[in-house]
Amino acid sequence: NIELGFRRAFEGSYPAFKELRSRHGLGNVRFQVGVPTPIDLAVVCFGPAAFADPSLVAAFLQAEIKEISEIAALADPEDVVFQLESIVAIPAVSALPTSGDNHAVDAQSDEMLGRISGLFAAVAQGAPENTHFGSHLCLGDFNHEAFAEQGSVEPIVRLVNALMDAWPEG
């Protein structure tokens, strides 16, 4: 049983958020909970080899869904949005070949896009019905330096399309 600490952090800051939102008449503002994707948690904890270990990723997915469900039970579903964050997946996707390269976009690229988009979608699929999500697709920031260079945006567009195809209803 892995505790990630998201619920604990939510419980510690949500009351102050509600008070400030009320005080300033910002009733339409939602509380945002940033949640790294399961692959990010696995790689940060166990290194790059974790990318190839589905059991590690599955353990983090299960823990994330548990804490998202607990947070959703503590607040009105219209009051919270979960932002899926990934600094591991996006640089990996950015390095994929593009149609402008001298070689065709290959099946291995499609497999990686499917796996990454599937992990994003699996978090939403496991969450309670009507849980709100956003995604933060970036190249990371470590001391104001990106983790990867972005050439063509084509791989990111392909990821977003794959994510839309994989995203669950509700």
The predicted-structure confidence for 104-119, as pLDDT tens digits, reads as follows 567 777 888 888 899 8
Q: Mean pLDDT of all residues in the chain? A: 87
163: left (phi over 0), alpha (psi -120 to 50) or beta: alpha
Going by C-alpha positions, the residue among 97, 119, 111 that lies closest to residue 43 is 119
Under 8 Å between Cβ of 76 and 123: no
Residues 116-158 have pLDDT tens digits of 899 899 999 999 999 999 988 777 677 777 767 777 788 888 8
User: How far is the first Cα of the chain from the last one, in angstroms, to the nearest whole number?
Assistant: 27
What is the rounded distance in angstroms from the CA atom of residue 144 to the CA atom of residue 141?
5
Determine contact, residues 72/131, Cβ cutoff 8 Å. yes
Question: What is the layout of strands, in order, in the sheet containing 31-36?
Answer: 31-36, 80-86, 132-137
Contact of 116 with 167, CB cutoff 8 Å? no
